[in-house]
Amino acid sequence: MPQMMPLKWLILMNFSIMLLIILISFIFFFYLPSTKYYCKLNKNMFNYSNKNMWIWKW
């Protein structure tokens, strides 16, 4: 039983890291395009992604 504990924690940590990466990627895809800085940076991509974003968001 004590030998199984480190493995359990390793899996838990791996899962949490994966979750964090997914969360960061979601922030990059949904939060960044809505900011004015990103819109200024490249407007054409923003206009294209904005049409698709409504489909993904709702």
- For the segment 6-40, what is each residue's pLDDT rounded down to a tens digit? 788 888 899 999 999 999 888 777 776 666 655 55
Categorize the per-residue pLDDT at 58 as very low, low, confident or very high, splitting at 50, 70 and 90.
Answer: very low
Q: What is the pTM of this model?
A: 0.42
Q: How far apart are CA 31 and CA 36, in angstroms?
A: 11
Instruction: At 51, list the tokens.
Output: 């049409």
Check residues 3 and 25 and name the one with the higher pLDDT: 25
